[in-house]
Structures are given as structure tokens and as C-alpha cells.
């Protein structure tokens, strides 16, 4: 580590002002940023902690939906407090280990957009809306590739609005050492159709599997997608699994999610 300034704003406005200083960086739960600082892969002059911003806390249901979750809410809080959306609560309970779940935040995860993170699949699969300090972004427009989002300089994730589907489930094939998803699939069935979002598999980050969505909208059963495949060429290949292996897992985990949600 090295010397830097640390500030803990009490409001979104104070946080945005602090982030406007040169080389300032937002700090959510620190589960990605702190290891990055230790390796000196990032060297901000000021860390702006978002954990004390009251506007970014809380989980509430707006009428019959959506479920609104503050950007500074931890994974553990989502797991215990998002009972109105059981699939999302279950997903949060699978993230990392207790230490990670009690420090990491949903806003930090979505801002980082790790290609193997779980929340991007939930947000994209649910058709969520990402609320920032200046605008609202549909999940389909927010995720723009590996570690890349539509967030601009100084823009922070204040909250996430999750529409609640008729049925949903998340299935994750865990990489044992990291607890990240080698492949994770979030399936959500709404009155007007089915959404399928895949994380951990693609070199482009989280994506929607449109072919499976069409088949499942017509027939919401595992058999409806049993013969479907995704192109292995765009999948991640590493020491944990080949491109073809991950492509195969996409179908397997999607069928498991459909079966579990049905």
C-alpha cells in the first residue's frame, strides 16, 4: 500500500464533489479495489468511501415492484433483506464467503462489472434499471463489455431497481478457489417473455442468450432448450475450463435454472 487521502462523505452530493478532485476513486466494499491497491495496479490520491452515504442504503419495495436496493447495500444485506425477490436473495447468498458478503456492495460489483460476477447476470436477466447520481440506465444499455459500463467519470451507482418476475432462478457453476462463476445463468420469466443472462462464460462479459429466451418464452421447460448451443468461439478459455466446456455449461446451467424456477 502507499499513502493516500481518505474521505467519508455523508451524501451523494458530497461524494460526487469529492470524486471531482484529481485522481480520486470511489470505494464501495473494497473487495476488488483494495487488492488492486496492494498490487499497485491503481494509485489514487484520494479514496472516497460510499459506505456512509445514507441515500445509498436500504432495500424497499415500491408498491407491487420494483424492488429498489441502494448502491451501498452489502451482499449479506441483499441475501437477508431481498425476500420480495427470492432468486436475487439466493444469488447474493452465494457470493464469495461471509467476509466478502459482509463488505462487498451491489453498487461496487455493478460498477466494476467483473466478467464472472453474479450481480450483472441478475441485473441483465431481470431487466433492472441502474440509478446513478445523474440518470437512470436500463441494464441492456449499462453493460458494455468486460469491466466496461456506461458509467462516466465521477458517476456512481446510487441504487438498482429490480422488476420482480413471475418466476426466476440463478444457477452458478463455481470456480472453487475464487467462488466466482465459471458460468452463471439467471433466468427470469415475466408476463411478456423470458430473459436469460449469462455471466462467467464470455470474453465480452455478461450477455443475454436470445435464442434460449425465444424458446423458453414459447415453452418454459428445460426440454425447450435441450438442443440449443452457444458459439464456443466467444467463450473464455483458461486453466479452469476450455471455451467448449464453458459453452456446454451455459446450456446445462440454463436448463437447471429453468427447472428450479418452474
**Structural domain ending residue among the three candidates 123, 142, 162:** 162
Region 59-63: what's the mean pLDDT? 93
- CA 183, 184, 190, 195 dihedral sign is negative
pLDDT, residue 202, reads: 96
Per-residue pLDDT at 41 exceeds 80: no
Looking at the chain, the number of H-run helices and the number of E-run strands are 10, 12
Per-residue pLDDT at 209 exceeds 80: yes
Cα separation, 172 vs 192, in Å, equals: 25
CATH number of the domain that residue 85 is part of:
3.30.465.10
Same domain, 218 and 153: no
- CA 176, 177, 182, 185 dihedral sign is positive
Region 236-262: what's the mean pLDDT? 96
DSSP H or E segment with residue 7: strand 5-7
DSSP H or E segment with residue 87: helix 86-93
11: left (phi over 0), alpha (psi -120 to 50) or beta: beta
Same domain, 257 and 186: yes
Per-residue pLDDT at 197 exceeds 90: yes
**Structural domain ending residue among the three candidates 146, 162, 178:** 162
Rg of the chain taking only CA atoms, in angstroms: 18
Region 47-68: what's the mean pLDDT? 90
Region 134-145: what's the mean pLDDT? 97
Instruction: Find the domain containing 190 and state its range.
Output: 167-261
Same domain, 117 and 191: no
Amino acid at each position: 500500500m502507499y499513502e493516500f487521502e481518505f474521505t467519508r462523505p455523508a451524501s451523494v452530493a458530497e461524494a460526487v464533489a469529492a470524486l471531482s478532485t484529481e485522481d480520486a476513486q470511489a470505494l464501495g466494499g473494497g473487495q476488488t479495489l483494495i487488492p488492486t491497491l496492494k498490487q499497485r495496479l491503481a494509485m489514487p490520491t484520494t479514496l472516497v468511501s460510499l459506505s456512509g452515504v445514507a441515500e445509498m442504503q436500504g432495500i424497499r419495495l415500491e408498491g407491487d415492484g420494483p424492488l429498489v436496493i441502494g448502491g451501498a447495500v452489502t451482499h449479506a444485506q441483499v441475501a437477508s433483506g431481498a425476500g420480495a425477490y427470492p432468486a436475487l436473495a439466493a444469488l447474493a447468498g452465494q457470493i464469495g464467503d461471509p467476509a466478502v458478503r459482509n463488505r462487498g456492495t451491489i453498487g461496487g460489483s455493478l460498477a466494476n462489472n467483473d466478467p464472472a460476477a453474479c450481480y450483472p447476470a441478475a441485473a441483465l436477466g431481470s431487466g433492472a434499471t441502474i440509478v446513478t447520481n445523474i440518470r437512470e440506465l436500463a441494464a441492456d444499455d449499462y453493460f458494455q463489455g468486460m469491466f466496461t459500463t456506461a458509467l462516466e467519470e465521477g458517476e456512481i451507482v446510487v441504487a438498482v431497481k429490480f422488476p420482480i418476475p413471475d418466476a426466476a432462478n440463478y444457477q452458478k457453476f463455481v470456480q472453487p478457489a475464487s467462488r466466482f462463476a465459471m458460468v452463471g445463468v439467471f433466468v427470469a420469466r415475466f408476463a411478456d417473455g423470458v430473459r436469460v443472462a449469462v455471466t462467467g462464460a464470455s470474453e465480452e462479459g455478461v450477455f443475454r442468450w436470445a435464442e434460449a429466451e425465444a424458446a423458453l418464452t414459447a415453452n418454459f421447460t428445460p426440454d425447450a432448450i435441450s438442443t440449443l448451443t452457444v458459439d464456443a468461439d466467444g467463450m473464455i478459455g483458461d486453466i479452469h475450463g476450455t471455451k467448449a466446456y464453458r459453452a456446454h455449461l451455459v446450456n446445462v446451467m440454463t436448463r437447471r435454472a429453468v427447472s428450479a424456477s418452474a
